[in-house]
Amino acid sequence: MSKQINVALIGNPNTGKTSVFNSLTGLNQKVGNYPGITVEKKEGICKLPRGVKAHIIDLPGTYSLNASSLDENVVIELLLNKNDKDFPDVAVVVSDVENLKRNLLLYTQIKDLKIPTILVINMSDRMAYKGIQLDIAYLEKELQTKIALVSTRKNKGIDQLKELITNYKELSTEPCLNASEIDKEYFDKLRKAFPNQLLYKLWLVITQDVNFGKIDRNEIDAINSFKTKGKADLKRLQQKETIKRYQFINNTLKKGQTIDLKSAKDLRIKLDRILTHKVWGYLIFAVILLTIFQAIYDWSSVPMDFIDSAFASLSEWTKNVMPEGAFTSLIAEGIIPGLGGIVIFIPQIAFLFLFISVLEETGYMSRVVFLMDRIMRRFGLSGKSVVPLISGTACAIPAIMATRNIESWKERLITILVTPFTTCSARLPVYLIIISLVIPEGRFFGLSYQALTLMLLYLIGFGAAIISAWILNKILKIKSKTFFVVEMPNYKLPLFKNVALTVLEKTKSFVFGAGKIILAISIVLWFLASYGSGDDFNNAEEIITTQFASENLSSEELQQKISSHQLEHSFIGIAGHAIEPAIRPLGYDWKIGIAIVSSFAAREVFVGTLATIYSVGSDEEETIKNRMAGEVNPILGGPLFNFASGISLLLFYAFAMQCMSTLAVVKRETNSWKWPMYQLVIMSAFAYVVALIAYQVLK
């Protein structure tokens, strides 16, 4: 028992699978992608009794092994490939006590694959509330398994589940029913043709349109050659199989489950009437959004000010403690300000993820999806498109991956193309610092002007996505028709552990993901800003001393002017001045131009770039925000970051396609460079025009 065992967590969406995963793994988890595909892969380590370790894989939610989306394909590919390093020693099927009948369909299919399987009946704390009683001994006998009655909310049943996983070898691997009876003659022939293969595995390979990449190709081709039935006949057999399974499940639950409807106290219908109302539903959603953005500003101001001043002090302390030289300059003027420009936004990003996680945990987000379907239909999208658009507020990359459950290629393509308009967390640092510089403090009906501006930017991004979808729906000549189906999970109080783990995981991935890019770019920018060629850079001290000889400048003021002159004639200064004519009509100077160009790698680099540029050669202990506020427009005079240039910048970042990672994912999802190139050119050109008009009108 010393070896590590593989455990696959499988279940329908909204059964609390993530809660069980979090309870088993705690902080010992990581998130990545399955090799070769952009489907999220969650895995973790769980310590079991008697010193056993389990490698837990949280598979994407699926209703059955009859795959209809790319997420569901992942589940089938793993369960059919014993050569995969993650192939489970034991499968843990997570079901919801209130939807046991539907959840058991998937369970009976997995049992047919003869994998040791444990049934988890989750949310058991709701049984008394819903008037549900279960005969566990009877259910275990009929389903030929062991059952763990679990409540992650009350932290009950997890120890029993760990014990069952440890003793997985004692589980029966016999199927619950004989599904081959739907066409005995056909399955007998199949069994004779492949005597060494599992019958249900053969059936899945024949009926599923799945890329079994890791399974022996010759084996798959041989099985597929047995497709003696047409697609329509196979579909009918699949339907017969589902009916047979539900007959077995119904008969089992008649004796194993009793529901006293009179004792079920349910507020769900009343709440749904309000939250999905065609008027009140939208108003409540708007109020929730306003509250979120106000809280993001009010709650995070203290930790942000502390982080800002701490990094400025750290930079100054580094200069004073370390010996003078290029390395000290790199640390104090390149790396520390660059990282400080992203760390400062951790509080606000953490609060954003906190609120999104709470909305998902309570079950409210599904109501939003249902509510928004009424609007989306008019613009050529389905309600399912709302999930990527809303999750795009965190990051466009997983949001674009989330389009995989949209069956219609046209709707999926449109959703992929318009999702980058949604304001992601990478834009948040840019928005927050510009808003704090150009939007005055003050309140309107208790809401600050800054919070209202932030919400307006989110609405502008969402509006741009919707209008773009409408235009694309008219332009793209792709015929398709789909129906919108969304499951409404029960309302529940969010689990603190789930919310905390989500916030920690998402914030960490944002900071480390952005941090790598910012660190690399900060080093490059520091080098380009600290060195140059030509007499203007090399003789900066002599030029400035001669130029200001008649003025009685202090040594500090003189040094500041020398540093400024060197920066302007450094490599980065030369590049900035080269692009300045193109951005001057937008109200930007060469420093902002450099920040914009560098942020095409990732939007959040904008603040880190300016932090690096403004820190080069500066001896003052000053925060990035104060330096930006002190910048003067060289042509018009007055602050460079004024209302006109600030709004212009905000609108540019609202519409521009500035994320190379997103473009790479769009290429993978569409299997073509055509669509990401359209995105890059059209969105950036549109952003430029809108920013130009805004500045020229407002200045």
Give the mean model confidence (pLDDT) for residues 691-699.
Answer: 93
Question: What mean pLDDT comes out for the span 491-496?
Answer: 80
State the pLDDT at residue 408.
74
Quote the CA–CA distance of 589 and 84 in Å, as a whole number.
55
Output phi, psi for 238, to 5 deg.
Answer: -60, -40
Q: Strand 90-96 and strand 5-11: pairing?
A: parallel
- For the cut 80, the answer to whether the pLDDT of residue 517 exceeds it is no
Tell the burial category of 522 from Cβ atoms under 10 Å away from its Cβ (0-12, 13-18, 19+).
Answer: buried
Is the model's pLDDT at 258 over the cut of 90?
A: no
The string of DSSP letters for 104-160 reads HHHHHHHHTTT--EEEEEE-GGGHHHHTEEE-HHHHHHHHTSEEEE-BTTTTBSHHH
pLDDT at 42 over 80: yes
If you count them, how many residues does the chain have?
699
Candidates 642, 699, 297; CA nearest to 439 is 642
Sequence-distant (6+) residues with CB within 8 A of 636 are: 699
pLDDT at position 379: 81
| Res 60 pLDDT > 60 | yes
92 neighbors 161 (Cβ within 8 angstroms): yes
Classified as helix, coil or strand, 181 is helix
pLDDT (0 to 100) of residue 5:
93
Expressed in angstroms, the distance from the first to the final Cα of the chain is 73
Under a CB-based contact definition with an 8 Å cutoff, are residues 604 and 514 in contact?
A: yes
Whole-angstrom distance, CA of residue 44 vs CA of residue 503: 17
Output the CA torsion sign for 333, 339, 342, 347. Answer: negative
CA distance 38 to 445: 44
**Span 1-265: which CATH code?**
3.40.50.300
Q: What's the pLDDT at 33?
A: 46
- CA distances to 286, 416, 422, 664 from 370, rounded to whole Å, are 15, 20, 19, 30
Read off the pLDDT of residues 671-681 as tens digits, 9 standing for 90 and up: 788 998 999 99
pLDDT digits (tens, 9 = 90+) for 567-593: 778 888 888 888 889 999 998 888 888
Count the neighbouring beta carbons within 10 Å of the beta carbon of residue 379. 18
Distance between CA 240 and CA 82 in Å, rounded? Answer: 28
pLDDT at 664 over 80: no
Q: Is there a contact between 76 and 67 (Cβ–Cβ < 8 Å)?
A: yes
pLDDT digits (tens, 9 = 90+) for 222-242: 665 665 667 788 888 888 999
Q: pLDDT class for 180, splitting at 50, 70, 90?
A: confident
Residue 109 reports pLDDT greater than 80: yes
**Tokens representing 607?**
């603040």
Instruction: Express as a percent the part of the chain with pLDDT over 90.
Output: 21
Highest mean pLDDT (candidates 208-212, 248-252, 492-496, 519-523): 248-252
Q: What average pLDDT score do residues 33-40 get? A: 46
For the chain, which residues make up each domain, given as ranges?
1-265, 280-475, 514-698
- Residues with Cβ within 8 Å of 699's Cβ and at least 6 positions away in sequence, in order, are 587, 636, 644, 645
Give the residue, 168 or 479, on which the prediction is more confident: 168
Minimal CA–CA distance to 465: which of 510, 414, 516? Answer: 414
554 DSSP assignment = -
pLDDT band at residue 612 under the 50/70/90 scheme: low
| 177-186, 244-253, 467-476, 503-512: least confident range | 503-512
Q: Give residue 621's pLDDT band: very low, low, confident or very high (50, 70, 90).
A: very low
Mean pLDDT in residue range 428-448:
83
Average pLDDT, the chain: 81
Top pLDDT among 108 and 264 is at 108
Residue 445 in this model has a pLDDT that exceeds 90: no
Contacts of 411 (CB under 8 A, 6+ apart): 380, 381, 382, 384, 385, 480, 482
Kindly indicate the confidence band of residue 158, based on its pLDDT and cuts at 50, 70 and 90.
very high
pLDDT at 110 over 60: yes
SS percent in the chain: helix, strand, coil, step 5: 65, 10, 25
Residue 82: pLDDT band by 50, 70, 90 thresholds? confident
Residue 391 pLDDT greater than 80, yes or no? no
- Tell me the mean pLDDT in the region 120-146: 89
**What is Dmax (Cα atoms) for the chain?**
105
Is 68 within 8 Å of 47 (Cβ atoms)? no
What residues contact 556, with CB distance under 8 A and at least 6 apart?
A: 619
Q: Name the DSSP class of 639.
A: B
Q: CA-to-CA distance for 314 and 623, rounded, in angstroms?
A: 11
Q: What SS3 string covers 366-412? A: HHHHHHHHHHHHHHCCCHHHHHHHHHCCCCHHHHHHHHHHCCCHHHH
pLDDT surpassing 90 at residue 693: yes
The reported pLDDT for the residue numbered 211 is 54
Cross-strand bridge partners of residue 91: 8, 117
Average pLDDT (296-311) is 80
Give the separation between CA 580 and CA 574, rounded to whole angstroms. 10
Residue 425 near residue 349 (C-beta atoms within 8 A): yes
Q: What is the pLDDT of residues 340-372, one digit of tens each?
A: 766 776 887 788 778 878 887 888 877 887 787
Tokens 């999905």, residue located: 276
- Scanning the structure block, which residue is given the tokens 């993650």? 86
| pLDDT over 60 at 2, yes or no | no
Reply yes or no on whether the pLDDT at 425 is more than 60.
Answer: yes
- Range with the largest mean pLDDT of 107-111, 153-157, 208-212: 107-111
- Are 477 and 409 within 8 A, CB to CB? no
pLDDT value of position 228: 63
Pairing of strands 40-47, 29-33: antiparallel
Q: Is the predicted pLDDT of residue 243 greater than 50, yes or no?
A: yes
- pLDDT (average), residues 255-272: 72
What is the pLDDT at residue 287? Answer: 86
| Per-residue pLDDT, 226 | 61
More confident residue, 685 or 215: 685
> Residue 652's pLDDT band (boundaries 50, 70, 90)?
very high
Provide the percentage of residues in the chain whose pLDDT is more than 70.
85
**Prediction pTM value:** 0.62
pLDDT confidence band for 513 (50 / 70 / 90)? low
